């Protein structure tokens, strides 16, 4: 039987309490995506959230893409984009310390997104705060960061939507659910027509200059051509002979000689 309180007996220490079980959140089931910047182009517009908004492009800042160099320097790449007509929307466009980007940890890395996109842990779904985004995108025009949509871009969109609505209308009797699409596109069409009416007065299409007048044809050449086409060579030789002109050369040369003589004598009479 063991004796208590022996000096060599181990008393042990109380172990640290077990940590509260951590509820492990699964990461969003989305692929990693690189950091990006948003760029606007005068040709790219769309209707979203009931507004005409710039259709911004994501310019990837990944080394080796679009001129971003091995160290991730992107300034030259952005300059190349600007030379092609794109306008950079700075990341802190809403003020110092702000960003339109958000980053989430996903399996195998990080996923960059805009702050209006919504990701869910354990899901592949990407949601969107469409109305909020449309407000923000619209404000880029209102704040003067990008120019309003040009007339030609809106007109192109209207033409395409009208074609699309006409095509859908052809099928709606067979597939009644297409009426939902037609209604949505008609609503977009109204937005576009309103936008066009608003800016049409401000932005005029290019007028173009009247081209320079064509040079007056030489009257001698005109008369010579007329003679040549309406007379045979024998007739021209006879006419030249009557006028005391040389009858040598081709029919065209004789006609030229007669025309010069006729117009020369008219000048003399004047």
Partner 1 sequence: MADTLYADLADSRLPAILGQELMLSRQDRMVILNHPALFYAGDVTNSGSTVIKQSELDFMAAHELAAVADGAAVTPTTLTDTSYNVTVARRAKSYAPTDLARLTDSYGALDPQKFAEDATLSAGMTLTSLIAQLMGGFSNVFGTSGSDLTLQDFEDAVTSLEIANVEGPYLSILAARQWGDMRDAIRTATGTVAFDPASPEMIRMRGTGYKGSIYGVDVFVSNKVSTANAGADFAGGVFGRGAVLWADASVPTDPSVIGVNAGKVLLEYDRNALSAVTNFVSNYYLGVAEGDDARGAAIITDA
CB of residue 55 to partner 1, shortest distance in Å: 6
CA distance 96 to 103: 18
In what order do the strands lie in the sheet containing 87-89?
Answer: 57-60, 36-40, 87-89
For residues 168 and 199, which CB has a smaller minimum distance to partner 1 in the complex? 168
43 binds partner 1 (CB under 8 A): yes
149 binds partner 1 (CB under 8 A): no
Kind plus residue range of the DSSP H or E element containing 269: helix 251-269
CB of residue 178 to partner 1, shortest distance in Å: 9
CB of residue 56 to partner 1, shortest distance in Å: 7
60 binds partner 1 (CB under 8 A): yes
CA distance 48 to 56: 12
For residues 41 and 233, which CB has a smaller minimum distance to partner 1 in the complex? 41
Estimate to the nearest angstrom the gap between the alpha carbon of 161 and the chain centroid. Answer: 17
DSSP 108: T
For residues 55 and 237, which CB has a smaller minimum distance to partner 1 in the complex? 55
Helical segments of 108-244, H only: 130-142, 151-171, 178-200, 219-230, 233-243
For residues 47 and 227, which CB has a smaller minimum distance to partner 1 in the complex? 47
48 binds partner 1 (CB under 8 A): yes
Half-sphere exposure of 242 (CA within 13 A, CB side): 8
122 binds partner 1 (CB under 8 A): no
CB of residue 140 to partner 1, shortest distance in Å: 13
CA distance 79 to 68: 11
Site for partner 1 in 7-36 (CB under 8 A): 31, 33-34, 36
Binding-site size, partner 1 (CB under 8 A): 55
């Amino acid at each position: 039987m063991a004796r208590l309180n022996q000096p060599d007996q181990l008393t042990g220490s109380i172990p640290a309490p077990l940590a509260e079980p951590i509820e492990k959140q699964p990461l969003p089931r989305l692929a990693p995506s690189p950091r990006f910047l948003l760029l606007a182009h005068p040709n790219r517009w769309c209707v979203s959230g009931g507004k005409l908004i710039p259709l911004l492009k994501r310019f990837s800042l990944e080394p080796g893409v679009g001129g971003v160099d091995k160290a991730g320097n992107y300034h030259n790449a952005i300059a190349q984009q600007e030379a092609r007509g794109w306008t950079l929307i700075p990341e802190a466009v809403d003020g110092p310390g702000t960003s339109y980007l958000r980053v989430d940890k996903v399996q195998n890395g990080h996923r960059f997104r805009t702050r209006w996109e919504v990701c869910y842990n354990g899901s592949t779904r990407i949601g969107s705060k469409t109305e909020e985004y449309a407000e923000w995108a619209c404000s880029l025009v209102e704040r003067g960061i990008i120019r309003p949509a040009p007339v030609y871009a809106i007109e192109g969109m209207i033409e395409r939507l009208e074609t699309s609505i006409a095509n859908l209308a052809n099928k709606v009797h067979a597939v009644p659910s297409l009426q939902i699409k037609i209604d949505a596109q008609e609503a977009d069409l109204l937005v576009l027509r309103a936008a066009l009416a608003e800016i049409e007065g401000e932005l005029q299409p290019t007028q173009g200059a009247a081209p320079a007048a064509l040079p007056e044809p030489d009257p001698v050449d005109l008369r010579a051509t007329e003679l040549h086409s309406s007379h045979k060579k024998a007739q021209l030789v006879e006419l030249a002979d009557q006028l005391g002109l040389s009858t040598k050369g081709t029919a065209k040369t004789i006609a030229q000689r007669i025309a010069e003589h006729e117009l020369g004598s008219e000048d003399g009479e004047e």
